[in-house]
Structure 1
């Protein structure tokens, strides 16, 4: 069977981490450079800039440092793009409008092989991949829509599809399909809870979110249709949601669709190689 190295270069994690660190350093020092030369007060009326001339020695030195960091960041970006182009996943990625090489490489750097669980040397399910990216759902209570609002809160997303092992579906504002509330499982999108450590990768969730955000801007992307379809659905099923809530839910569903298709392509490549070896 195909190994993790065959589908995703194991060095991609290191390369994307280096790129992220350089990006953060470049952004932080660019902000410091702006403070040195700022001549106007902030929105709160407080003057925090030093109003130095661009020819000031300290400004010149910091500007040179920012330029050097930008050059290193560019080199790191080229490195992760080259690593992605060596992956057998690259042709599929290249064919998806909106999935840029840099963002997708950073996503793969965060999740590794979409299909293969490297730490346990076994295939992983799509549910495990979603959970690793913080896109899973959690059981929050039983009962009707009032119980959901009390337990889940307004900023969590009810699942509208029937899940394996459940006998009914909850849609706020509608009567559920099973008359017995004892078997109703209310599942909502996982979210961070104060005082509890999240059991998913924040970086992976962020990268999936950015890929989805990029795809929905491309009219030719099938993921734009996924997003719009979800928005149209929630406009009816969850008419009480704000536009921001509906958008966040649409991005979440789109992120899951991208990860699902990446997982399917990686699975295909694994099985293809297994047949070739046989």
Structure 2
């Protein structure tokens, strides 16, 4: 949810901005009201941007792709090549992405970038350097010549989880602890900001049981993550053959919520990783 305050479109900028003390009161209303909903702080007012992100908000900007080299309009300066990179530093928000999302809105439209001869690779690379999680392209079409670049960009923005290695015993006993090794890669540029659960499901033709893995996925920043631990095989699990499946679950629905960048996805969202045999004591 965007923190709307004053100014044009409620985006916190205009020639008539009130003193920061009044802006702060408006920002506090949102922070107090939305305790569980992720908030995004608008970019233009540096003091407000710093305050909002220091109090739990992510951030957004609304002119991604403005590649003008200069501007005589003090209320519409050259954004990408002047204002934005420096504002990120001056506001001290370089590391906000590690705990809260970054969302970007395109300037003009993507087709407008092409008409103006803008450098698409520069724009998308800069968005990734800012660790973008979502982009608003204003429901406008992407030029066909640029679709492959956007498809590649889409696979790098936000999080992208790849299970690189999984090791577990092929035969286990009900009521026992079993060792498990998982090596994951977050090939995106940001973590997930919701408290999803990493889980294993043991499923037979007649029954299924879910075992949660004690990791905090919100801390899986871009790069490798390893789990070396043990899982409990429920004592009431019947003897027989079981499929070994993994998923990342929504805490509200208890259903798979994240599409992983691996093969093996089933119709119910779980990923088949192999099988094992359960024996009773």
Q: Give the TM-score band, short-chain normalised.
A: under 0.3
Q: Which of the pair is proportionally richer in helix?
A: 1
TM-score normalized with structure 1 length? 0.22
By percentage of residues, which structure has more strand?
A: 2
Relative to the length of structure 2, the TM-score reads 0.22
